[in-house]
Amino acid sequence: MAATFFGEVVKAPCRAGTEDDEEEEEEEEEEGRRETPEDREVRQQLARKREVRLLRRQTKTSLEVSLLEKYPCSKFIIAIGNNAVAFLSSFVMNSGVWEEVGCAKLWNEWCRTTDTTHLSSSEAFCVFYHLKSNPSVFLCQCSCYVAEDQQYQWLEKVFGSCPRKNMQITILTCRHVTDYKTSESTGSLPSPFLKALKTQNFKDSACCPLLEQPNIVHDLPAAVLSYCQVWKIPAVLYLCYTDVMKLDLITVEAFKPILSTRTLKGLVKNIPQSTEILKKLMTTNEIQSNIYT
């Protein structure tokens, strides 16, 4: 028994071991923990619903092996989030012929993926492409939220359980600038700005400053980068801190320094045309909001 500051008496937890009182409590807890068949059924249904499935393009049947086990890959560029997806759509996908090889279908409380790749902020999709002229170059456009319990499945279905090490991964994503921890005044931050985080085996230099401590990466980009670090695959994540999370021209243009990196240099041809395509994309997706002037 212990007295608190306010004078009431509370039962302090006993560090000596079990007391007589606690045995009864434990029995009750166990009964509650014992799974009924209904519980098991519900749990299995939920697991099935939350399964991540990788489907082939034409037939929409599930791939038997992981994507990168089926197709050899030298370069893999992953865009996660609508601004990163818009950047790749305008600058990379318009500079070559890309063929869809498959898509990921998943469901969670935040989103359900659709089959279309129409860049609307309300629809979520995860589609994989490869370059027709060089099929070992892969691209992933992922605008859906992949929940924590689904990230491992996504990685397994895409990379497989024993990935090749002779490929280079580039991940592009955005984060809100309020998540950026710095000793500088936040008012002076040149938002949007780019930061990079790379694995030990990535020997090239990043085209922007590295992400400083104590900032961390979250969600699917973190899962992919961790996976690459564990499997010693060279990978780099370009993280754009922005103050506008919806589809925004200035945020997308903040990714432009990446066009000069070794990975993307050969893939991007006509930058002025890409800028025009990006502007058109913005106007078609402009939400008619009257809140702001």
H helical segments located in 50-163: 67-70, 82-87, 148-159
Contact status: 244 vs another protein (CB under 8 A) = yes
281 forms part of the interface with another protein (CB under 8 A): no
185 contributes a contact to another protein by CB under 8 A: no
User: Which pair of structure tokens corresponds to residue 191?
Assistant: 């938002």
Candidate residues 49, 250, 257, 269; the one interacting with another protein per rule CB under 8 A: 250
Residue with smaller CB distance to another protein, 12 or 287 = 287
Q: Which is nearer to another protein, 59 or 283 (CB)?
A: 283
Least CB distance from residue 221 to another protein, whole Å?
Answer: 23
Q: Residue 191: which of 200, 203, 180, 202 has the closest Cα?
A: 180
Buried b (16+ CB within 10 A) or exposed e, 280-289: ebeeebeeee
The C-alpha atoms of residue 120 and residue 284 are separated, in whole angstroms, by 9
Residue 272, both tokens: 């002025």
Smallest separation, CB 288 to another protein (Å)? 5
Given a contact cutoff of 8 angstroms between Cβ atoms, the answer to whether 76 and 169 are in contact is yes
| Under rule CB under 8 A, residue 58 binds another protein | no
Shortest Å distance, C-beta 83 to another protein: 14
CA distance 107 to 234: 30
* Structure tokens that stand for 22 in this block: 């606690």
The reply on whether position 283 binds another protein by CB under 8 A is: yes
Cα-Cα end-to-end distance for the chain: 62
Question: Stretches 51-59, 63-71, 195-203, 241-249: which one binds another protein (CB under 8 A)?
Answer: 241-249
CB count, 10 Å around CB of 177?
Answer: 19
Residue with smaller CB distance to another protein, 213 or 288? 288
Task: Name the segment binding another protein (CB under 8 A); options: 33-41, 119-127, 128-136, 243-251.
Answer: 243-251
Number of residues that bind another protein (CB under 8 A): 13
Measure Cα distances from 256 to 36, 118, 264 in Å: 55, 22, 10
With CB under 8 A as the contact rule, the residue among 58, 59, 61, 288 that binds another protein is 288
Rounded to the nearest whole angstrom, what is the least distance from the CB of residue 277 to another protein in the complex? 14
Q: Is 32 or 190 the residue whose CB approaches another protein more closely?
A: 190
179 binds another protein (CB under 8 A): no
Q: Which stretch binds another protein (CB under 8 A): 60-68, 76-84, 201-209, 282-290?
A: 282-290
CB–CB of 34/27 below 8 Å? Answer: no
Among 110, 121, 279, 284, the residue binding another protein under the rule CB under 8 A is 279
Contact 142, 118 (CB under 8 A): no
Report residue 64: phi and psi, to 5°.
-75, -40
Q: Interface with another protein includes 253 (CB under 8 A)? A: no
User: Which residues of the chain form contacts with another protein (CB under 8 A)?
Assistant: 243-244, 246, 250, 279, 283, 286, 288-293
